[in-house]
């Protein structure tokens, strides 16, 4: 017999055991991207040397770099690169629909989403950004502790069949990344994006799909059911549905892309059969602003 306390302890041990794995995977993934601080490419307050420039009017004497100036006749001011720490907030779909893998060799979608989110967080925190979660559970902070807490929160499954993006708690002018399969009704996504756009939050939608969801390799009489079992659809000829399903999926992707364009967001679709690194690179570039 296990006492409630022991059972809790056991559960929490199990949960805790997953954290390092997620962390390790994410660290590993993050290690593949070499990243510096987000240099702003202009002078400002920061730690790194940016350039020497001749002293102009208005410069305080304190800013003069005497060593450099002593080598020439004019005074030089040593400018530092302007660095700014951004807040990046993440939303990772933890619903049941993400806990699906069509093949044992592929990880579940949730797995991939968490790994990507954690890896991105690690990268960002290493880069000096503050990373948090939407909602009020984990506001953006920096530091190793934040990584652990992120991992902890990201490892929690939600019992819902499908979930809606959490749009609360977004800091104005921050960045956001939403990980989900976005198979549910797109209206909440639209609402969230609108809200984000209102607050000047820009970001990226990462749609994570299983290859079978992309290909629909089914045939014959089939009863499709959602992961939680709540939704059931029976068909007599699954093969006949393929084209219509694919149409609907394409339409969904189109809609997501359209929405994100409207809100000034980025959109990508990532499959669990592909390498996580490419998705991570894409996320990094999206945060970097390379894609605009």
Partner 1 sequence: MTLFGIGFVTPWLLLTLLALPALWLILRAVPPAPIRRMFPGVVLLLGLKDDEQVSDRTPWWLLLLRMLAVAMLIVGLAGPILNPESDETAASDAPLLVVMDSSWASAATWRARMLALDGLLAQAARDDRRVALLQLTKPEQANFQTADDLSARLVGLSPAPWEPRPDAVDSALDLLPEGGFDTYWMSDGLERETRAPLLSALEDRGDVTVFQAGQTILGLAPARFEDGNIILTAVRAQTGSERDVTILAQGRDPSGNPAVLARATARFDPDAAMAETALSLPSELRARILGFEIEGNRSAGATTLPDDSLRRREVALVAGREDREGLQLLAPLHYLEKALDPSADLLDGNLMDMIPANPDVIALADVATLGDAEEDALLDWLDGGGILLRFAGPRLAASDISRDTEDPLMPVRLRSGGRSVGGAMSWGEPKSLAEFSEDSPFFGLAIPPDVTVSAQVMAQPDPALADRVIAQLSDGTPLVTRKKVGQGQIILFHVTANAEWSSLPLSGLFVQMLERLSIAAGSGAQPDAEDLEGTVWQPSIVLDGFGATSDGSTLPGVAGEDLVSAPLGPDLRPGVYQSQDRALARNVLEADATLTPANWPADIPVEGLVKSEETPLGGWLLAAAMLLLMADILASLFLSGRLSGPRATQAAALLLAALLMPGHAAQAQSDETEFALGATAEVTFAHVVTGNEDLDQRAQAGLRGLSETLFFRTSVEPADPMAVDLETDELAFFPFLYWPITPDQPTPSDEAYAKLNTYLRSGGMIMFDTRDADIARFGTGSPNGRKLQQLAAPLDIPPLEPIPEDHVLTRTFYLLQDFPGRHNSHDVWVEAAPPDAELVDGMPFRNLNDNVTPVIIGGNDWASAWAMDDRGNPIYPIGSGYSGERQREIAYRFGVNLVMHVLTGNYKSDQVHVPALLDRLGN
Of residues 253 through 282, those in contact with partner 1 by CB under 8 A are none
- Please, are residues 83 and 37 in contact by the beta-carbon 8 Å criterion? yes
* Residue closer to partner 1, measured from CB, 82 or 245: 245
Of residues 43 through 82, those in contact with partner 1 by CB under 8 A are none
Of residues 137 through 176, those in contact with partner 1 by CB under 8 A are 162
Could you tell me which stretch among 43-51, 76-84, 150-158, 181-189 binds partner 1 (CB under 8 A)?
A: 181-189
Q: Which of 111, 129, 166, 181 binds partner 1 (CB under 8 A)?
A: 181
Cα R_g (the chain), whole angstroms: 23
Rounded CA gap, 42 and 9, in Å? Answer: 52
Q: Which of 35, 64, 85, 227 binds partner 1 (CB under 8 A)?
A: 227
* Residue closer to partner 1, measured from CB, 61 or 236: 236
CB of 200 to partner 1, least distance (A): 32
Give the three-class secondary structure for 274: coil
Q: Which of 11, 42, 53, 248 binds partner 1 (CB under 8 A)?
A: 248
Q: How many CA atoms lie within 13 A of 195 on its CB side?
A: 15
* Residue closer to partner 1, measured from CB, 152 or 215: 215
Rounded CA gap, 134 and 167, in Å? Answer: 6
Instruction: State the CB neighbour count (10 A cutoff) for residue 121.
Output: 24
Listed residue (143, 112, 123, 43) closest to 83, CA to CA: 43
* Residue closer to partner 1, measured from CB, 75 or 212: 212
Edge-to-edge strands, sheet with 130-133: 130-133, 87-92, 175-180, 202-209, 266-271
Binding residues for partner 1, per CB under 8 A?
A: 97-98, 100, 102-103, 109, 162, 181, 183-185, 210, 212-213, 216-227, 231-241, 244-245, 248-249, 252
């Amino acid at each position: 017999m296990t006492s409630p306390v022991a059972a809790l302890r056991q559960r929490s041990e199990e949960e805790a055991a997953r954290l390092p794995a997620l962390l390790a995977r994410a660290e590993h993934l993050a290690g593949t991207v070499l990243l510096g601080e987000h240099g702003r490419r202009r002078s400002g307050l920061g730690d790194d040397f940016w350039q020497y420039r001749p002293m102009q009017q208005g410069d305080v004497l304190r800013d003069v770099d005497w060593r450099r100036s002593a080598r020439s006749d004019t005074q030089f001011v040593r400018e530092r690169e302007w660095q700014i720490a951004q807040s990046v907030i993440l939303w990772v779909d933890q619903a049941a629909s993400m806990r699906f893998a069509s093949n044992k060799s592929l990880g579940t979608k949730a797995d991939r989403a968490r790994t990507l989110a954690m890896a991105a967080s690690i990268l960002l925190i290493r880069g000096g950004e503050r990373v948090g979660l939407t909602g009020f559970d984990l506001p953006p902070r920096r530091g190793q502790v934040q990584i652990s807490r992120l991992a902890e929160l990201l490892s929690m499954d939600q019992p819902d069949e499908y979930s809606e993006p959490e749009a609360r708690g977004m800091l104005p002018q921050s960045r956001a990344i939403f990980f989900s399969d976005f198979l549910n009704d797109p209206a909440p996504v639209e609402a969230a994006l609108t809200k984000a756009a209102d607050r000047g939050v820009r970001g990226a939608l990462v749609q994570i799909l299983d290859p079978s969801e992309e290909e629909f390799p089914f045939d014959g009489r089939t009863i499709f059911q959602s992961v939680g079992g709540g939704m059931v659809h029976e068909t007599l000829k699954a093969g006949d549905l393929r084209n219509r399903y694919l149409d609907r999926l394409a339409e969904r992707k189109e809609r997501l892309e359209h929405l994100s364009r409207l809100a000034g967001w980025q959109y990508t679709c990532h499959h669990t059969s592909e390498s996580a690194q490419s998705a991570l690179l894409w996320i990094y570039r999206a945060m970097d602003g390379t894609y605009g």
